[in-house]
Amino acid sequence: MIMPAGKPLLLPANPRFIALTLVLALLLQMWVNLWGQRWMPDLMQAVLAFWLVYQPRRVGLILAFVLGLLMDVHEAALLGQNALAYVVMGFVAGLLHRRVLWFPLREQPLQVAPMFVLVAVIEWIARLWHSGMWPHWSQLLAPVLQTALWPLVAALLLTPQRRPYERDDIRPL
């Protein structure tokens, strides 16, 4: 495998760290939901998408499905609505991940934007079928904001993998 020149070699991701960030994202999303704003980005989706793209061997479709079910119950939405959206996201992430990883962080949002839009569209269709309501225009903002958050989320979640391979007590960071 040829690495692009000048990129740092990353440590393997810690499965416990992945689990922790997913639980934290779920908590944060529940907290964000309390404000009741429709344009708020789905942070759970952003973090899950990151792991689906960066660690497809550890975070797969089944986990996405389960997390989607949790969100459904929390939002008192139709059971399976978020699950379907997350599973579609997982599949698209699987198709995209090799391509996305060749781009630097600041160019990745453009690559993942269609995925977030597709997921939003699937959620809208599910709601349209279930309750016959068209989306409010402000909901168009959510996928845009998720895309905008991508570099931030990625940079944050990659930090533990950027530590030196051999721990140096004199320079701990």
Partner 1 sequence: MALETLDHSPPPFFRQGLPAALRFALLSLMAIGLMVADHRLQVVMPVRASIATLLTPLQWASLQPGRAWDALEQSVRDMQQAQDTVDEYQVRSIAQAQKLQQIEYLLQENRQLRELLALRPTVDRSAQAAQILYDTSDGYVQRLIIDKGQVAGIRSGAVVIDTSGLVGQVTRVHPLVSEVTRLTDREQSTPVMNARTGERFVAFGESASAGERLELRFVPASADMRQGDLLITSGLDGIYPPGLHVGQIVLVDRRVNSSFARVLAAPVSREQGRHLLVLQPLRDPLSQAAQSVQAEQGRAP
How far is Cα 49 from Cα 1, in angstroms, rounded to an integer? 24
How far is Cα 173 from Cα 98, in angstroms, rounded to an integer? 29
With contacts defined by CB under 8 A, name the span among 21-29, 112-120, 145-153 that binds partner 1: 21-29
Q: Are 86 and 68 in contact (CB under 8 A)?
A: yes
Nearer CB in complex with partner 1: 122/149: 122
One residue of 19, 22, 55, 148 binding partner 1 per CB under 8 A: 55
Smallest distance, partner 1 to C-beta of residue 171, A: 20
One residue of 94, 113, 140, 144 binding partner 1 per CB under 8 A: 94
Q: Are 162 and 12 in contact (CB under 8 A)?
A: no
The closest of 54, 59, 30 to 42, measured between CA atoms, is 30
Q: Please report whether residue 27 would count as binding partner 1 according to CB under 8 A.
A: yes
Q: Please report whether residue 5 would count as binding partner 1 according to CB under 8 A.
A: no
The closest of 76, 66, 62, 67 to 47, measured between CA atoms, is 67
Helix ranges, 76-107 (H): 81-100
Q: Given the rule CB under 8 A, which residues bind partner 1? A: 1, 3-4, 7-13, 23, 26-28, 30-31, 33-38, 54-57, 60-62, 65, 68-70, 73-81, 83-84, 87-88, 90-91, 94, 98, 101-102, 126-127, 130-131, 133, 136, 139, 161, 165
